[in-house]
Structure 1
Amino acid sequence: MTRSERACQIWSVLAWAARNRQILTYSQLSRLIGVPAAGLGQLLEPIQSYCLVSELPPLTILVVQQDSGLPGAGFTGALAAELASKQMDVFAYDWLGHGNPQPDKFEAAVNARPSNG
């Protein structure tokens, strides 16, 4: 499975989490999709880039570190002072109505705006 195909899978999980106003830890997301937590940053980048390019709320803000409750170092979708506000924006957005972007959209977004380091 390519990175962008994995991003499609993760998008669905995060859209559902947003709909239910849930935050997920990296380890929870890891167990849900069957990928080691250490590799999730690379898989979240296409989603983060897509949200930035498309001017959507930062969907990847819903994935946090268990110890701190904060997104990982690769998260660039919001300033630290904006995290709570941006999470509320993510919860309020109709992700299920938006639909799941296809892999080519994620690849184009990463090419247009790399966002993870």
Structure 2
Amino acid sequence: MRATKQNYLAILRVELDDLSTDIEHLIDQCSHGRESGDISENVFLQNLATFKNELLGVHSFQKILDQIEPAAYPSLEEMIEDIRERFESLEKSHGIVHALQIYVNRKLDKVLRYVTQ
């Protein structure tokens, strides 16, 4: 079970790196939209603020994962529940946009399916 928990965290980190890359691509697309005149400066700045907030949330969540010790949890499910609770607390205390919680929960569930099937 310990290997499963460690694998879960390793795969989750890969998924979070992928999410960061996706957000960075959205920032690039937004920049191109502003440069081409497809979006206004105000819309660009609002989008940029949201995307930067999401990146901050992902990076902060990665720090939470660095603090997780798989052996301290009796089961994978209990470890995941603690991770969820820590992220929800982070979201509230750091003003992270709620949309990121949806993305993170999807990643948590996706990796769980992967390691248990």
Structure (1/2) with the larger helix percentage: 2
TM bucket normalised to smaller: under 0.3
Normalization by structure 1: what TM-score?
0.26
Larger Rg: 2
Normalization by structure 2: what TM-score?
0.26
